[in-house]
Structure 1
Amino acid sequence: MALDFAAGCVGGAAGVLVGHPFDTVKVRLQVQNADKPLYRGTLHCFQSIVRQESTLGLYKGLGSPMMGLTFINAIVFGVQGNAMRKLGRDTPLNQFLAGASAGAIQCVICCPMELAKTRMQMQGTGEKKSKRKMYKNSLDCLLRIYNKEGIRGINRGMVTTLLRETPGFGVYFLAYDVLTRHLSCEPEDPYLIPKLLFAGGMSGIASWISTYPVDVIKSRLQADGVGGVHRYDGIVDCVRKSVRKEGWRVFTRGLTSTLLRAFPVNATTFATVTLFLLYMRKDDECILTGPDPQAAPMQPLQPQAQASSI
C-alpha cells in the first residue's frame, strides 16, 4: 500500500506538471465574460497569457494541486483498494463503483484545492502587468477566503465537485480497466508502456467528456466573486444565466484545451507510475491478481491514479 501511494504521488506530480498550462487555459475560457470575451479560442488564450503574463502565467495556481496531491492520492488509493476488496470480484462494474467511491471521498481535499487554483489562475486576467496581486500563493488564497467567508467559503463549489468527481472517477477506472483488458497488458509485454500510455490517455478523455458540463459550472461558481462582483446565487442560477446568455454551447467552453490536456496528463501519470513500480517491485510483484481467479486469472498493472481532476 505504501509503495502504491508513493508511485501515485510521483506519477500524479508528473501529470500535474505536464497538464497545468492546459488547465489554466481551460479555466480562463470557462469563466471569461461572454459580453467582452478576452480570448477567441484555445490557441489565442495560450498566446495571450504568454504575451501578457510570460510563460509562468500558464503555471499560476500550480502550488494548490501540488499541495493537495499527497492527500488526494492517499485517499484515492486507500478507498479504491479497500472498496475493491469489499466488493470481492475484480469486474468492470466493481472498478466503476470503487472509483466512484474514491472520487466522492477525495472531494474533501479536491474542492478547496481547486478553489485556490481557480482563484490564482484568474489573477491578472486581461492585464498587461498585474499591479496588485490579491493572493501571494495558494495557501494565502485559502487563508484569506477562510478569514472572510469561513468553512463555507473554502468549500465553495463542493456540490458540483461531487457531481463531477464521483461519476468521473468511476468512468476513469472503468475505461482503464476495459482498455487494459482489451489490449492484454501484461508485465512481460514489450509494448506494455505504449499500451498503458494509450489506455491512460484515453481513460482521461472519457472521464472528462462524461462530466465536462458540470466542470464548467464548478469553475464559474468558484471564480465568482473575484474582483468583488458576484453573478450567481447557486448552481441552478448559474446554469440558467449561463444558458440564457451563451446558449448550450457554454458547456463546451474550454473543452478543446481540456482534452488536449487529458491525454498527455493521464498518459504521463500511468507511464510514470508503471516505471516506478517496475523498478521498485520487480516484474513478478507488479501483477495484481483479482480476488476471484476465474473472473480475472491475470490482471495487468493497475497504477490507477487520476491527475484531475486535477
Structure 2
Amino acid sequence: MTAAAEAEAGTSSAVQTAKDLFSGAAGGIAQVLIGQPFDIVKVRLQTGTTAQRSALAAAKSIWTHEGPLAFYKGTLTPLLGIGACVSIQFGAFHFARRQLEARATPAGSTTPSRPLTYTELYAAGAFAGIANTVLSSPIEHVRIRLQTQPHGDKRLYNGPADCVRKLIRAGGVGHGLYRGTAVTLLREAQAYGVWFLTFEYLMNLDASRHHISREQIPSWKVALYGGLAGETLWLASYPFDVVKSKMQTDGFRTETAGLNDFGGEKRYKNMRDCFRQTWRAEGMRGFWRGIGPTLARAMPVSAGTFAVVEMTMRAIN
C-alpha cells in the first residue's frame, strides 16, 4: 500500500470512528431516559436500602414517600456520563472489529477473506466493555450512591459533584471514587461481549434468512434484536453487578458518622470477600436479587439504544 493510500485509509478510519462515537452518544442518551426509573428500583433491591422485597413494592414505596421525580434521582450523572460510555462502547467495538477484519484481509486487498467468527465478535465486545470501565466505574458509583442515599434532610450528598468530592476525601481516587472497579471490569467485559455478540448474531441471521443486506433490516427488528441482546447481557453478567453495587454502597454509615475514611464501617474487604459474604448470607438467590426489574428494563433500554445507534449510523453514512 502506498503512503497516499495509507493516509487515506487512516483518515477514513478516523471519520468512521467519529461516526461510531456520535451514534453511540445518541444511543446513550436514549438509554438513560428510558431506563433510569427501572434502575433505581434495581439498585435499591440489590443493596438492601429498601425494606421491600419485590420490584413493584419498592417502586410503590418510592412513589409514595419520595414522589415521582425520585425515579430520576441521580439522573444528571448518567445522562452526562452514560452518553459518553455508550459512545465509547460502540466506538471501541467497531474499532476492534475493524482491526480484526484487517487481520483477515489478504495483502493488496480491501475485503476480508472471511466474516468474523462469533468468538472474535465476543472479543471485540469485551474490548469495548474494558475500554468503557474507565468511565463507567466512577459514574455508576456516584449514581448508585445518589440513588440509595437517605431521603430529605438526612441525605448524604448534595449532587454529583458533592458526592465525587466526598468519595475522594473519604478514600482517595482508587479506594474511594473507583471502589469496585475490579468487579466492574469483569462485568463489563462479559456483559458487552455477550451484548454485541447476540445483536450481531441476530442481525446476521435475519439478513441471511431473507437474503438482504443489514441496512435493509427494518427498524422494528433492529429494536427487537437489540432488546433481546439486552436480556442476554444481564443474564450473563448479573452476579458481578450485584457484587459491584454492594461494594459501591459500602460505607454509608461511616460517612453519616462524619469520619474521614471508610475504615470502621467498611463491610467488604475486597471483591472476593463480597462474593463470599453474599453466598454465606443468601446463597445463590443473593446474586440474583433485583433481576426482575433489571430484565424488565433491559428490553426497552437496549432496544432503544440499538435502534437509535443503527438509525443514526444509517443517516450519517
Q: TM-score, normalised by structure 1?
A: 0.83
Counterpart check, 1:163 vs 2:186? yes
Q: 1:41 aligns with which of 44, 54, 71?
A: 54
Counterpart code for 2:74: G
Q: 1:145 aligns with which of 167, 182, 186?
A: 167
Shift of 1:70: 4.2
Identity of aligned residues (%): 37
In structure 2, the residue matched to 1:11 is 27
**RMSD (Å) for aligned C-alpha atoms:** 1.8
Q: Which of 1 and 2 has greater Rg?
A: 2
Higher relative contact order (CA 8 A, sep 6+): 1
In structure 1, the residue matched to 2:8 is none
Q: Which has the higher helix share?
A: 2
In structure 2, the residue matched to 1:272 is 308
Residue correspondences, number: 273
* Correspondence 1:2-151 to 2 at 5 A: 2-32=18-48, 38-88=51-101, 89-124=115-150, 130-151=152-173
| Structure 2 spans left out of the alignment, 5+ residues | 1-16, 102-114, 255-264
Describe the superposition over 1:277-299 as per-residue Cα deviations: whole angstroms up to 9, x where unpaired: 33333xxxxxxxxxxxxxxxxxx
Describe the superposition over 1:168-198 as per-residue Cα deviations: whole angstroms up to 9, x where unpaired: 1111111011111112274664x61111111
| Structure 1 spans left out of the alignment, 5+ residues | 282-310
Counterpart check, 1:203 vs 2:248? no
Q: Secondary structure at the match of 2:230?
A: helix
Q: Secondary structure at the match of 2:269?
A: coil
Counterpart code for 1:267: A
Q: Secondary structure at the match of 1:38?
A: coil
Q: TM-score, normalised by structure 2?
A: 0.81
Give the stretch that moved more between structures: 159-168 or 73-82: 73-82
Counterpart check, 1:180 vs 2:193? no
Cα separation, partners in 2 of 1:276 and 1:71, compared to 1, 3 Å = closer
Contact 1:61 1:121 in 2 (8 A): yes
* Correspondence 1:292-303 to 2 at 5 A: none
Contact 1:26 1:257 in 2 (8 A): yes
Cα separation, partners in 2 of 1:205 and 1:188, compared to 1, 3 Å = closer
Whole-angstrom CA distance in 1 between matches of 2:308 and 2:90: 16
Counterpart check, 1:259 vs 2:284? no
Whole-angstrom CA distance in 1 between matches of 2:305 and 2:170: 36
Counterpart code for 2:149: Q
Shift of 1:68: 1.6
